[in-house]
Each structure stands twice: as structure tokens, then as C-alpha cells.
């Protein structure tokens, strides 16, 4: 039986639009909802949870439809481009839609106690509303087939995210500085992106991605305007995805945002930006053009290697627990860029696979860190003493995700690092294999000292005795352990995730997206 047939016809027809429209509409209703509890459950939280669950179902239906029947090109309102705006979903972005929505479901479940502890009661409804706006912006970035709408949705997501990071000021006032820094850097990145899109419009006279790709193929790569467009877009998206050395906004944003938002951002935001980099570089521009191919090899792969080394070293010397993991995220982005920079099917498959796997393991790590703060107010590495005894279940999940980050066999981290090493060997980049090994050893150092504090030190004294066992609430443990178990399941049997990555790489190896008919629409 075709699994697509289980979904109603209206879901299959209008799923791409509903993915974006639904959370935007619900954000308004959530902001206006009374900030009250019914049977101990917060009303805005219920509205948010229901929205993200529906979006996850829609994302799954879209993925199954794409895998079974090919790409979807949805003409909004029935107005076909260039008059109207299209949403374009294929095997490259459909898995990312599912990833974002599933992470949102898990993080929202976790948010009930976490947001109650970290956000003032009067701000909770606006907090959930801002989250839904950020969520809708990420989905819009990934689904839209219009270049200018990429910028619009990126700003929708970014502006709401700045607000969400700043709301961490209830826990730590440094969140305000981090949000301001994120605002400045994010605005610079968005400006570069929109200038690049403007150059593309100057050259092609259209904003539809398929039309842009077709016209660029016809006109060729010799135009100076095209080269300028490519340069501005790569720098703008590089800043958004925290490519070294454009990553300076990330450590503060991750360290001081509310725990729920840190986990969501770490697992989704840089992934959406990385998707856009893949989309523009491989399917709008053409890697066979000299300046594109050299940029992939020397800029993306080169900055990826530097990021892997420098950020891993920085993580070792951090005392703040979240900053350790934040610099680790910069290093992991480097792994992804290394795979993409190879510009081979195997390399892009490995980079894409590591993107999926990083969302799983880094999401689990930040959820665990949020639970540490929730129970004991832990923010420093030294505060982790004895957590293996006081929070054994939470620490066990943290350890599994940490081992995956190192790349221990049987975890998702090992699967994607091995794929990267194979791709590098196929490309003759033996030095890159050495860098992967060295940075994995550095990961042993900075993750190992966290695990050592938790399992080889006694809990601190309090009131004349050691801290008693005090595990995280069940509603926080469930999403944490779902991700931790996923890190093991997809590490032992990676067939499904690898097939998704390989299919995405096949889309990219097919070259620019041209001559795509509009097979769905709001008619």
C-alpha cells in the first residue's frame, strides 16, 4: 500500500502552504490567549504543542509524497510564477522540514516545566507566540521557491529569535547583550543576502528560483553581476549558519537563551541556513562554473577545516557548560561544510547526513543541560560534580549524546564521520581525514571532562550532607531520551537517514532546477 494514500486529499494538496500558514495564524491566537493554567497545564503551551504536532504530520505527508511521486511545486493562491509565489519541495528540503517539526514537538513537550522556570508568567504567552513565528519562519525559508521570500522568512525567523534569546534575561542578564550581538550580526548577514538576491534579480529579471536557474544556465557564468550575487549570498548565509569566522553571535545566543530555545536553535536554525546554502550553490548556481567550484573547495571546505580545529580548541578552554557545547556546534558546522566543499555526491551525502545527526545529538545535549539548570542551577563545568549520582537518567542521556558527538562506534556521530572520511579518501583529501581524527580527539577532551566531572567526583555538600538524588521531571526526560535513543538506533542502523541524505545529494548532483512544472496549487 502506498503510504501517501493514508492522508486526506486536502493535506496532500495544501500541505506545503499549511506548514507555514498554520503556525503564523496560531502565533496571533497564542499571543492573545489568556496566560492561565487549566488542570495545571498552560493554555498557550497547549496551543503551541497542538500546532507543532499538526505541522509534524504535514511535514511527514509532504516527505512521503516527495519520495513517492517526486517534487512538489505549489503555486500560492493558484497564481503561477512569475506572477505568483511558489513553494518548491523536493528530496533536498523535505527531510529538513520533518527534522524541524519533530524537533519542535520534542522541545515543546520539554518546554512546559522549562519555560515556567525561566520565563516570567506575564511573558509566557508572548514567548510561545514568538516561538511559533520563529518556527514558521524556518519552515518558510525551507519551503519557498522564491528568492526574495527566502529573505523575508529568514527575517521573520531571525527577528522573533532575537526576542526569544533576550527573554533569557530572567535567568541571566547577559542574554540582553547576546541578543543585541545576534541582532547586529544577523542584520549584517540578512543585508548581504538581500543584496545578493538583488543582483540576481538585476541579471535575470525574476525572483522565482527555477526561472533564475534557467536564465543563468542560458546566459552563462561570465557576468560580473552573477559573481557578485554569489559572493554576497555565500557570505550572508555563512553568517546565518555560523560558518567560521562568522560565528561570533552563536556562543552568546546559545549560552544565555532560555533552555528550550537553545535546544531548538541548536538543532534547527543552522540546518535551515545550510539548506539554503546548498540550494543556492548547487541548484541555482552551478558547481561546474569555475568560481563556484573554487569557492566550494577553498572557501567552504577551508573555513570548515579551520572551524573544526579552532572551535574545538576553544571548547576545551570554556568554563561555561553551554559555551562548551556552543563552540562544539561551530566545529560541527565545519564538518558539514567540509563534506559540501568536496562537491562530490559522496561528500555532499556525508555533509547532509552529519547535519541530520548533529540535530539529534546536539538537541539531546542542550535538553540535558537545561535539565541540569532546572534542578540545580548548573551553568559551569565544575558544577557537574556527581551528576551521575544525583541525576543518573539525565546524565546517562547526556553521555550517550556526548559519545555520539565524539564519534564512538554505534552512534550517529560515528556514522557521519565515517562517511566524511570515506568521501575525503575518494577525493584524495587524506589530510582532511587527519583533521577529522584530530578534532574527534579534541572532542574527547572537552566532552570527556564533562563526563569525568559527573561520574568521578562526589556531589557537592549541602547542609552538612551531599545532594540527594533529584531527577529531572518525566516530561523533560521523555524528549531527552527519545533523542538519545535515536542517536543509538540510527547509529546502529543508519539505512533510513543515509538513504535520505543520498537522495538529497542526488538532487544536487542533478544540477540546476529547471523546467519544473507546477504540479500542485491552491486552485
DSSP conformation letters of 142-156? HHB-BHHHHHHHHHH
Three-state secondary-structure class, residue 51: helix
* pLDDT, tens digit, 9 for 90 and up, residues 358-373: 999 999 999 999 999 8
Angstrom distance (rounded) from CA 125 to CA 230: 40
Locate the DSSP E strands across 20-106: 37-38, 41-42, 72-75, 86-89
What is the structure's pLDDT at 522? 40
pLDDT tier at 518, thresholds 50, 70, 90: very low
Provide the 8-state DSSP code for 500: H
DSSP conformation letters of 411-439? SHHHHHHHHHHHHHHHHT-HHHHHHHHHH
Alpha-helical (H) ranges within 428-492 are 430-455, 474-492
Question: Which uninterrupted H or E stretch holds 320?
Answer: none
Angstrom distance (rounded) from CA 178 to CA 169: 10
pLDDT tier at 325, thresholds 50, 70, 90: very high
pLDDT tier at 516, thresholds 50, 70, 90: very low
Average pLDDT over residues 399-405: 93
Q: Exposed/middle/buried for 220, CB within 10 Å: 0-12, 13-18, 19+?
A: exposed
Angstrom distance (rounded) from CA 69 to CA 57: 18
284: which residues sit within 8 A by CB, 6+ positions away? 147, 200, 209, 212, 213, 216, 512, 513
pLDDT tier at 406, thresholds 50, 70, 90: very high
What percentage of the chain has pLDDT greater than the value 90? 42
pLDDT tier at 295, thresholds 50, 70, 90: confident
Answer yes or no: is pLDDT of 465 > 70: no
Q: Give, in degrees to the nearest 5, the angle at Cα 39 between 35 and 42.
A: 30
Answer yes or no: is pLDDT of 40 > 80: no
Q: Exposed/middle/buried for 67, CB within 10 Å: 0-12, 13-18, 19+?
A: middle
What is the structure's pLDDT at 462? 58
* pLDDT, tens digit, 9 for 90 and up, residues 103-151: 999 999 998 888 888 888 788 888 999 999 999 999 999 999 888 999 9
Average pLDDT over residues 26-44: 81
Amino acid at each position: 500500500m502506498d503510504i501517501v494514500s493514508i492522508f486526506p486529499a486536502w493535506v496532500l494538496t495544501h500541505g506545503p502552504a499549511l506548514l507555514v500558514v498554520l503556525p503564523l495564524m496560531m502565533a496571533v491566537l497564542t499571543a492573545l490567549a489568556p496566560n492561565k493554567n487549566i488542570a495545571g497545564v498552560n493554555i498557550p503551551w497547549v496551543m503551541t504543542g497542538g500546532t507543532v504536532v499538526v505541522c509534524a504530520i504535514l511535514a511527514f505527508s509532504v516527505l512521503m509524497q516527495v519520495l513517492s511521486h517526486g517534487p512538489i511545486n505549489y503555486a500560492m493562491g493558484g497564481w503561477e510564477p512569475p506572477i505568483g509565489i511558489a513553494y518548491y519541495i523536493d528530496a533536498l528540503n523535505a527531510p529538513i522540514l520533518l527534522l524541524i517539526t519533530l524537533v519542535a514537538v520534542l522541545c515543546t513537550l520539554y518546554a512546559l516545566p522549562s519555560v515556567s522556570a525561566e520565563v516570567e508568567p506575564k511573558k509566557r504567552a508572548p514567548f510561545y507566540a514568538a516561538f511559533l513565528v520563529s518556527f514558521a519562519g524556518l519552515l518558510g525559508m525551507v519551503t519557498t521557491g522564491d528568492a526574495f521570500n527566502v529573505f523575508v522568512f529568514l527575517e521573520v525567523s531571525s527577528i522573533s529569535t532575537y526576542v526569544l534569546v533576550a527573554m533569557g534575561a530572567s535567568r541571566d542578564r547577559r542574554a540582553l547583550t547576546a541578543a543585541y550581538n545576534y541582532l547586529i550580526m544577523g542584520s549584517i548577514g540578512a543585508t548581504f543576502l538581500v543584496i545578493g538576491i538583488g543582483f540576481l534579480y538585476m541579471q535575470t529579471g525574476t525572483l522565482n528560483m527555477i526561472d533564475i536557474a534557467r536564465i543563468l544556465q542560458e546566459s552563462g557564468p561570465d557576468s560580473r553581476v552573477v559573481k557578485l550575487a554569489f559572493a554576497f549570498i555565500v557570505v550572508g548565509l555563512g553568517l546565518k549558519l555560523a560558518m567560521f569566522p562568522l560565528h561570533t553571535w552563536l556562543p552568546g545566543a546559545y549560552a544565555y537563551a532560555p533552555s528550550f530555545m537553545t535546544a531548538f536553535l541548536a538543532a534547527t536554525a543552522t540546518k535551515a541556513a545550510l539548506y539554503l546554502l546548498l540550494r543556492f550553490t548547487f541548484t541555482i548556481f552551478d558547481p561546474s562554473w569555475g568560481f563556484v567550484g573554487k569557492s566550494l573547495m577553498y572557501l567552504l571546505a577551508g573555513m570548515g577545516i579551520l572551524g573544526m580545529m579552532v572551535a574545538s580548541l576553544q571548547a576545551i578552554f570554556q568554563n561555561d557548560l553551554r559555551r562548551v557545547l556552543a563552540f562544539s556546534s561551530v566545529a560541527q558546522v565545519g564538518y558539514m561544510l567540509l563534506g559540501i566543499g568536496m562537491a562530490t555526491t559522496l561528500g555532499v551525502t556525508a555533509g547532509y547526513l552529519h547535519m541530520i545527526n548533529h540535530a539529534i545529538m546536539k538537541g539531546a545535549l542542550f535538553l540535558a543541560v537545561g535539565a541540569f539548570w532546572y534542578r540545580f542551577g548548573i551553568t559551569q563545568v565544575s558544577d557537574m560534580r556527581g551528576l551521575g549520582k544525583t541525576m543518573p537518567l539525565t546524565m546517562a542521556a547526556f553521555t550517550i549524546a556526548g559519545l555520539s558527538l565524539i564519534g564512538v562506534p554505534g552512534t550517529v556521530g560515528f556514522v557521519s564521520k565515517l562517511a566524511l572520511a570515506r568521501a575525503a579518501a575518494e577525493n584524495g583529501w587524506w589530510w582532511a581525514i587527519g583533521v577529522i581524527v584530530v578534532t574527534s580527539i579534541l572532542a574527547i577532551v572537552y566532552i570527556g571532562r564533562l563526563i569525568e566531572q559527573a561520574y568521578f567526583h562526589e556531589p557537592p555538600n549541602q547542609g552538612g550532607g551531599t545532594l540527594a538524588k533529584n531527577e529531572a521531571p518525566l516530561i523533560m526526560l521523555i524528549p531527552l531520551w527519545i533523542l538519545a535513543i535515536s542517536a543509538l538506533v540510527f547509529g546502529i542502523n543508519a539505512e533510513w537517514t543515509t538513504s535520505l541524505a543520498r537522495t538529497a545529494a542526488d538532487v544536487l548532483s542533478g544540477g540546476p532546477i529547471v523546467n519544473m512544472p507546477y504540479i500542485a496549487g491552491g486552485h
